């Protein structure tokens, strides 16, 4: 994901370029405020991407297959004129019959203000829409989203939480992470030094298993410390479990 824009969070734009299983490119653009002539800009982005896929000096007569289909998904944080529903799908059609005339591009306009989550009938699409709608206000995400989200979205939510921090909050976050990293390094150094001293003092072979057990216990305690810190900062249990290798039950009981 590439971020474009300045410090004005209302106008910040996020771009993502993906590829389908068939190799067709998907351009995803999100912005909090609709720009002037946005429909024209959306077409420009799609056709520009299409142009980039065509080799310079291409001889059309020698083409063995058509160019890849380009899909544009434009997620808008504000209502735009002419968009009266959550998802508006557009393509190139015959104006008289309405039949599809050319299938090499599609554009989807997603109006987040028109989306409302039904927690009793939630779908995968709803989960993503609720995430994007509350990007920057993560505390507003419906709890049912966390229950249904996959690991990829949960990781993205945690990154978004960090990205939504103010400059001062981020400084505090960075400082706390540095302190935690320093503590981990000190503990690791302490364990290594203790083992080395033990070896130098001639600890008999039979005690090696005890040293190993002690180190494993120390690593476990270190994971618990990290998990507690992450839990205090609001990270979800699934992410904490993935990073610390602690069980969900262990983390819930901290």
- Give the pLDDT confidence of 82-94 residue by residue, as tens digits: 889 999 999 999 9
For the chain, the first-to-last Cα distance in angstroms comes to 34
Among 112, 141, 165, the domain-final residue is 165
Instruction: Place 221 in a pLDDT band, splitting at 50, 70 and 90.
Output: confident
Q: How many domains does the chain have?
A: 2
What pLDDT does residue 6 have?
40
Among 165, 200, 231, the domain-final residue is 165
What pLDDT does residue 8 have?
44
Domain that includes residue 41, residue range: 2-53+69-165
What pLDDT does residue 203 have?
54
Average pLDDT, the chain: 77
Q: What is the pTM of this model?
A: 0.59
Residue 162 to residue 233: CA distance in whole angstroms: 10
Among 141, 165, 189, the domain-final residue is 165
Q: Please check whether residues 23 and 145 belong to one and the same domain.
A: yes
């Amino acid at each position: 994901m590439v971020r474009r824009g300045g410090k004005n969070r209302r106008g910040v734009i996020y771009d993502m370029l993906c590829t389908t299983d068939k190799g067709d490119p998907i351009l995803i653009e999100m912005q909090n405020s609709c720009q002037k002539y946005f429909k024209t800009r959306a077409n420009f982005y799609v056709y520009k991407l299409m142009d980039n896929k065509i080799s310079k000096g291409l001889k059309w007569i020698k083409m063995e297959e058509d160019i890849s289909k380009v899909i544009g998904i434009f997620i808008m944080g504000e209502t735009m004129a002419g968009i009266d529903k959550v998802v508006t799908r557009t393509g190139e059609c015959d104006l008289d019959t309405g039949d599809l005339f050319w299938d090499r591009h599609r554009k989807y306009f997603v109006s987040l203000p028109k989306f409302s989550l039904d927690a009793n009938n939630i779908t995968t699409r709803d989960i993503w829409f609720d995430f994007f709608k509350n990007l920057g206000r993560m505390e507003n995400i419906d709890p049912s989203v966390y229950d249904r989200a996959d690991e990829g979205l949960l990781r993205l939510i945690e990154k978004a939480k960090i990205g939504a921090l103010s400059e001062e909050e981020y400084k505090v976050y960075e400082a706390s992470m540095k302190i935690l990293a320093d503590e981990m390094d000190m503990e690791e150094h302490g364990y290594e030094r203790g083992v080395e001293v033990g070896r130098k003092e001639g600890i008999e072979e039979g005690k090696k298993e005890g040293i190993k057990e002690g180190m494993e216990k120390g690593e476990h305690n270190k994971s618990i410390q990290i998990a507690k810190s992450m839990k205090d900062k609001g990270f979800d249990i699934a992410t904490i479990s993935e990073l610390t290798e602690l069980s969900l039950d262990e983390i819930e009981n901290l």
